[in-house]
Amino acid sequence: MSDLNTPSGIVASLQRGQLFSAACPSRDVLKHITSRWGVLVLVALSTGTHRFSDLRRKIDGVSERMLAQTLDWLEGDGFVARRAYPVVPPHVEYSLTPMGREVADRVAGLVDWIEENLGRVLHQHHDTGVAPADQPVE
Amino acid sequence: MSDLNTPSGIVASLQRGQLFSAACPSRDVLKHITSRWGVLVLVALSTGTHRFSDLRRKIDGVSERMLAQTLDWLEGDGFVARRAYPVVPPHVEYSLTPMGREVADRVAGLVDWIEENLGRVLHQHHDTGVAPADQPVE
DNA sequence: GGAAGTACATACAGAAATGTTAGTATGAAG
DNA sequence: CTTCATACTAACATTTCTGTATGTACTTCC
């Protein structure tokens, strides 16, 4: 009886201890997903297949290099599927894998919350009293 | 931006365009939440109030500096509440604010997914086999 | 013939994040 | 009296991240 695999909370609570451990591989996966562009790519692909240049245009601010690398990470983790057509001007399509969709849904949930509550959050910054602290700007 | 608050999808889709814009402030909030330690702090605080050193011991790998800074960001965004007791050896307690709990729940959802599916993800890395040159496709 | 467009890879560089070390206040413990 | 513990901050070093510039293959358009 390998009951270490109960899909409910047992595994979750056990495994969670893992994330808190520096060496746990889940930290790498988390890093890819929560990376600056990873989140945006997942959300962008939530609406369907996109070509490389479409993503680049949609995600304001990404450089080709970063987009390529992010897609590479996500593909390596099995969240994104890459499909290349051997045509003259390169044509490549990216889409979410079933697993990627599961992740993207959760990421989108977080992103949606932020956007819907941005007002409340920003308001906080005002009555936080002060603390210009040491972080210049971003 | 006061009556743009319809709770359903309208705001989400409109606002979402914001996240895709480089200058949107939501990117900063997202950065704090998805920062390397931000995720871990939120998850750690999900189980209740913690003192600074408790968090430090629980989150393997954080340095005091980073923990302090992360808590500062999260406090500034209104996700974490800080309570200091003016006692001899400093005593400070951190906990989630109502707003922080909402965010933490979503973050925890993502983290849980990762931990529960880590096996599948790691497996991916193996058969990511090198693409044999050209992809005929279709 | 020359320019343009696509989906990248590679090299180098500047920016940003993170870590390390040292230090502060104060009371308790040894 | 010395050491320890807490919750930090400031200064400095380092690692990591991200961007820019450049190049490639090949075809279509002018």
Q: What is the pLDDT of residues A20-48, one digit of tens each?
A: 998 889 999 999 999 999 999 999 999 99
> For residue A70, what are its two tokens?
């992010």
More confident residue, A56 or A17: A56
CA pair distance A29, B114, nearest whole angstrom: 8
Strand D bases near protein CB (under 7 Å) are 5-11, 17-22, 25-28
Answer whether B15's CB lies under 8 Å from A116's CB: yes
Place of tokens 């702090």: B41
Q: In residues, how long is chain B?
A: 138
How many other C-beta atoms can be found within 10 angstroms of the C-beta atom of residue A81? Answer: 17
Chain B hits for A25, CB-CB cut-off 8 Å, are 118, 122
Q: Which residue type does A108 have?
A: A
What is the residue-averaged pLDDT of chain B? 82
User: Which residue of chain B is at minimal alpha-carbon distance from A18?
Assistant: B115
pLDDT of residue B126: 65
Phi then psi for A71, rounded to 5 degrees?
A: -65, -35
Angle between helices A38-46 and B9-19 (to 10 degrees): 140
Dmax (CA) of chain B: 72
Distance spanning both ends of chain B, measured CA to CA: 48
| Interface mutation vs chain A, best among B1, B6, B19, B41, most A CBs within 10 Å | B19
**Cβ partners under 8 Å of residue B78, min gap 6:** A120, A121, A123, A124, A128, B97, B99, B100
Are A19 and A30 contacting, i.e. CB atoms less than 8 angstroms apart?
yes
Which of B30, B134, B135 faces A114 most closely, judged by CB atoms?
B30
Classified as helix, coil or strand, A58 is helix
Q: Is A92 left (phi over 0), alpha (psi -120 to 50) or beta?
A: beta
Chain B 66..85 CB hits on strand D (< 7 A): 68-69, 71-72, 82, 84
The stretch A92-96 carries a mean pLDDT of 96
Identity of residue A2: S
Give the tens place of pLDDT for each residue, B40-96. 999 999 999 999 999 999 999 999 999 999 999 999 999 999 999 988 789 999 999
pLDDT at B12 over 90: no
Read off the amino acid at residue B6.
Answer: T
